[in-house]
């Protein structure tokens, strides 16, 4: 069961998106959908607090009192794995979508083919087989770490400290080079500094001297590596 939350202040737009989602479910019986709609971001947030989050959010960008981007940031603070698609009348909001790790955006009125393609991509990313893991050795033995939950790794006093999206940490003696090799098939991971590996999905802001992660952590950026990091970040965001 895929839970979809739709938030838009325009009832006609809600009806159209809900209709597209219903038709998608009819044509893909292998993926049953549960659809909930909201006219207010606050109503959506209230329900999420009471009953848990959705797997996929379809959020209007321009809404009174709270924008879709601000709503997405509030949802991301919950540290849940979810896909977000923005609904907008203009491509100018695409850059904002990157800041909250959105999967993309759909231009209103939403084309059926575009909707189906975007939702199919989200379902693919949410599938368990795409949730690969690392198994670093810790003092408690091997521990499974979902790659999507790994925010950054810091090398300190010959130990590597892995910080996860829920704020927990894991200490391992596996070297940064070995960890980076284990992550070579995951383009989200880069080394901005010799003492760090970071997951670009969690970058909030990037400067020539440091980057800011969504959890508030500031990571130094080596002077020689800034250009390569910047190019890698923009190339990655363009693909996701």
Same domain, 175 and 95: no
Same domain, 125 and 145: no
Instruction: Residue 114: give the domain boundaries.
Output: 2-130
Q: Domains in the chain: how many in total?
A: 2
Higher pLDDT: 43 or 238? It is 43
Same domain, 145 and 205: yes
Q: Residue 120: CB partners within 8 Å, gap ≥ 6?
A: none
What does the pLDDT look like over 203-233, one tens digit per residue? 999 999 999 998 999 999 999 989 999 999 9
Of how many residues is the chain composed?
240
Same domain, 6 and 125: yes
Same domain, 11 and 120: yes
What does the pLDDT look like over 166-208, one tens digit per residue? 888 999 989 999 999 999 888 899 999 999 999 998 999 999 9
Same domain, 18 and 112: yes
Q: What pLDDT score was predicted for residue 162?
A: 94
pLDDT at residue 129 above 60?
no
Same domain, 12 and 86: yes
**Residue at a domain's end among 130, 158, 185:** 130
Q: What pLDDT score was predicted for residue 99?
A: 65
**If pLDDT is split at 50, 70 and 90, which confidence band does 240 have?**
low
Q: Decide: pTM greater than 0.75.
A: no
pLDDT at residue 146 above 60?
yes
What does the pLDDT look like over 80-122, one tens digit per residue? 778 999 999 877 765 565 667 788 889 999 999 999 999 998 9
Q: What pLDDT score was predicted for residue 78?
A: 77
Q: What pLDDT score was predicted for residue 39?
A: 97
pLDDT at residue 132 above 80?
no
Same domain, 222 and 107: no
How far apart are the C-alpha atoms of 233 and 178, rounded to whole Å?
Answer: 22
10, 52, 67, 72, 200 from 98: Cα distances, Å: 24, 24, 15, 11, 11
The domain spanning residue 92 has which CATH number? 3.40.50.2300
**Residue at a domain's end among 130, 156, 182:** 130
**Residue at a domain's end among 91, 109, 130:** 130
The domain spanning residue 209 has which CATH number? 2.40.50.1020
How far apart are the C-alpha atoms of 212 and 106, rounded to whole Å?
Answer: 28
Max Cα separation, the chain?
59
How far apart are the C-alpha atoms of 60 and 14, rounded to whole Å?
Answer: 9
Higher pLDDT: 58 or 125? It is 58
How far apart are the C-alpha atoms of 119 and 58, rounded to whole Å?
Answer: 10
Task: Using CA atoms of 41, 43, 44, 47 in order, give the dihedral in degrees to the nearest 10.
Answer: 160
Same domain, 112 and 79: yes
What does the pLDDT look like over 16-35, one tens digit per residue? 999 999 999 999 988 889 99
């Amino acid at each position: 069961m895929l839970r979809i939350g739709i938030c838009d202040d325009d009832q006609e737009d809600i009806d159209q998106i809900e209709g597209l989602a219903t038709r998608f479910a009819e044509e893909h019986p292998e993926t049953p959908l549960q659809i909930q709609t909201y006219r207010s971001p606050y109503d959506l947030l209230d329900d999420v607090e009471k009953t848990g989050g959705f797997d996929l959010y379809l959020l209007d960008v321009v809404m009174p009192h709270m924008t879709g981007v601000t709503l997405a940031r509030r949802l991301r603070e919950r540290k849940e794995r979810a896909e977000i698609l923005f609904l907008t009348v203009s491509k100018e909001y695409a850059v904002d979508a990157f800041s909250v790790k959105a999967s993309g955006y759909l231009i209103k009125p939403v084309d059926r083919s575009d909707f189906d393609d975007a939702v199919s991509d989200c379902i693919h990313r949410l599938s368990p087989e795409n949730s690969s893991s690392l198994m670093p050795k810790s003092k408690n033995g091997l521990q499974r770490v979902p790659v999507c939950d790994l925010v950054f790794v810091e090398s300190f006093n010959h130990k590597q400290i892995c910080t996860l999206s829920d704020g927990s940490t894991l200490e391992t003696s596996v070297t940064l080079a070995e960890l980076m090799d284990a992550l070579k098939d995951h383009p989200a991971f880069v080394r901005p500094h010799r003492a760090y590996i970071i997951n670009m999905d969690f970058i909030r802001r990037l400067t020539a001297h440091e980057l800011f992660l969504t959890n508030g952590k500031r990571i130094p950026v080596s002077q020689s590596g800034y250009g390569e990091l910047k190019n890698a970040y923009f190339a990655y965001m363009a693909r996701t």
